[in-house]
Copies of this chain bind each other. A is one copy, B any other.
Amino acid sequence: MRTRATDLFGIEYPIFAFSHCRDVVAAVSRAGGMGVLGALYFTPEELELELAWIDEHTGGRPYGVDVVMPAAYEGADLGDAGDLLARLQSMIPDGHRAFLEDLLARHGVEPSAGTAARTLLGWTDQTARPQVEVALRHPIALLASALGPPPADVVDRAHGRGVRVAGLASSARHARKQADAGVDLVVAQGTEAGGHTGDVSTMVLVPEVVDAVGAGTPVLAAGGIGRGRQMAAGLALGADGVWTGSIWLTVSEADTPGRVLPKLLAATSRDTVRSRAWTGKPARFLRTAWTDAWEGEGSPGCLPMPMQFMLVADALPRIARSGDGELVTFPVGQVVGSMDRVRPAARVVHELIEEYAEAVERLGGLTRS
């Protein structure tokens, strides 16, 4: 099939697969879609290794990298101050630390080794830029920015190297800003998506974004896209392709944690919740005792980004390996309800395309008869 998105990258199918796992990224690109590696959790050195591996395993097919450069976060005004991390740490209230430790204890999670809150991840301009530098040294085809439009100089540098830029938007106004910032395509992401997400549904958002950015900027539909009928719906709404994420968590190649995978396979579409309990910004997660506790009675409330993650970062691996497992959660969208078996990524791509073709054929038949 052929859309402006397939033309832009010379790919077979307009299926963009966001994943933090290099194996998934390479597998989707090899299958005719485009894998996009989420850089957030990697140090620049780690990212370098991941991308070198992907370069060797895509057979020359294009792939992308996704960074997080939020336009707004606590400490943004602290600029380049070397002590940004320490200053943000001092802003975390003791009550929040106590609430967290009590919650962990109640669920039998092993105590902290005292290494908490050492990280900002790539959640600030300061920490995301080195990731961009690494990414641009590799033959990437796409640089995506997950929160807010990428800074103008980043767009220019990417374009200078022939790299296309995509921005994620959860409202027509944000999409317009992204288009004005010079992105080559906009990902219109509905509230049903996993991870950071707005409150407008994909069904409502995509046509709004298509109209807002105008004919010059192709749009990818994101949120609630896990099967071919949903891909057909996304394109019917005016998109030139689909941006997917959740469905790659349960493919054979994925490195999804062992305590998470069975929860994903068992969950229904009603088992997610939009919560600030992981990163400080609203993001959709599997609803578990973790999200219930932070959103429920007795919670001190969630801290703003990036402090909420700084607070909980050290607890997450401990939750993943110890305790009763009830706190274990993971970012995932409402399509989790249809993720009920483990298949190779290439098979997911082919089943998407197969059902897509059936849906389009059926639609054509409704007006012909």
From 250 to 299 in chain A, residues with beta carbon under 8 angstroms from any chain B beta carbon are: 268-270
How distant is the Cα of A3 from the Cα of B192 in the complex, in angstroms?
A: 28
Interface core residue of A207, A268, A269 (most chain B CB under 10 Å)? A207
Q: Which residues of chain B are within 8 angstroms of A345 by Cβ–Cβ distance? A: none
Q: In the bound complex, do residue B236 and residue A363 qualify as a contact, i.e. CB atoms below 8 Å apart?
A: yes
Output the least CB separation between A364 and chain B (Å). 5
Interface core residue of A226, A227, A235 (most chain B CB under 10 Å)? A235
Q: Which of B203, B270, B333, B364 contacts A364 (CB 8 A)?
A: B364
Q: Which of B171, B198, B199, B233 contacts A203 (CB 8 A)?
A: B233
Indicate whether A205 reaches chain B with its CB closer than 8 angstroms.
yes
Q: Choose the segment among A95-103, A178-186, A334-342 that binds chain B (4+ C-beta atoms closer than 8 Å).
A: A334-342
Indicate whether A2 reaches chain B with its CB closer than 8 angstroms.
yes
Q: In the bound complex, do residue B357 and residue A199 qualify as a contact, i.e. CB atoms below 8 Å apart?
A: no
Q: Which of B199, B333, B357, B367 contacts A1 (CB 8 A)?
A: B367
From 160 to 188 in chain A, residues with beta carbon under 8 angstroms from any chain B beta carbon are: 171-172
| A195-227 interface code vs B (CB 8 A; 1 in, 0 out) | 000111111110110000000000000011111
Indicate whether A350 reaches chain B with its CB closer than 8 angstroms.
no
Q: In the bound complex, do residue B200 and residue A203 qualify as a contact, i.e. CB atoms below 8 Å apart?
A: no
Output the least CB separation between A2 and chain B (Å). 5
Q: In the bound complex, do residue A202 and residue B201 qualify as a contact, i.e. CB atoms below 8 Å apart?
A: yes
Output the least CB separation between A332 and chain B (Å). 12
Q: Which residues of chain B are within 8 angstroms of A57 by Cβ–Cβ distance? A: none
Q: In the bound complex, do residue A190 and residue B208 qualify as a contact, i.e. CB atoms below 8 Å apart?
A: no
Q: In the bound complex, do residue B236 and residue A229 qualify as a contact, i.e. CB atoms below 8 Å apart?
A: yes
Q: In the bound complex, do residue A360 and residue B359 qualify as a contact, i.e. CB atoms below 8 Å apart?
A: no
Q: How many copies does the complex hold?
A: 2
Q: Which residues of chain B are within 8 angstroms of A232 by Cβ–Cβ distance? A: 233, 236-237, 363
CB-based nearest B residue for A225: B203
Indicate whether A230 reaches chain B with its CB closer than 8 angstroms.
yes
- Interface size on A, as a range, is 35 or more
How distant is the Cα of A15 from the Cα of B191 in the complex, in angstroms?
A: 26
Q: Which of B3, B207, B270 contacts A230 (CB 8 A)?
A: B207
Q: In the bound complex, do residue A369 and residue B2 qualify as a contact, i.e. CB atoms below 8 Å apart?
A: yes
Q: In the bound complex, do residue A366 and residue B201 qualify as a contact, i.e. CB atoms below 8 Å apart?
A: no
How distant is the Cα of A268 from the Cα of B1 in the complex, in angstroms?
A: 34
Q: Which residues of chain B are within 8 angstroms of A191 by Cβ–Cβ distance? A: 191, 201
How distant is the Cα of A167 from the Cα of B236 in the complex, in angstroms?
A: 26
Q: Which residues of chain B are within 8 angstroms of A205 by Cβ–Cβ distance? A: 269
How distant is the Cα of A53 from the Cα of B123 in the complex, in angstroms?
A: 62
How distant is the Cα of A223 from the Cα of B198 in the complex, in angstroms?
A: 17
How distant is the Cα of A208 from the Cα of B226 in the complex, in angstroms?
A: 11
| A2-44 interface code vs B (CB 8 A; 1 in, 0 out) | 1100000000000000000000000000000000000000000
How distant is the Cα of A38 from the Cα of B334 in the complex, in angstroms?
A: 30
| A36-59 interface code vs B (CB 8 A; 1 in, 0 out) | 000000000000000000000000
Output the least CB separation between A242 and chain B (Å). 11
Residues of A within 8 A of B (CB): 1-3, 171-172, 190-192, 198-205, 207-208, 223-227, 229-230, 232-238, 268-270, 333-335, 337-338, 357, 359-360, 363-364, 366-367, 369
The 4 closest A-B pairs by CB, nearest first: A203-B224, A233-B233, A232-B236, A192-B201
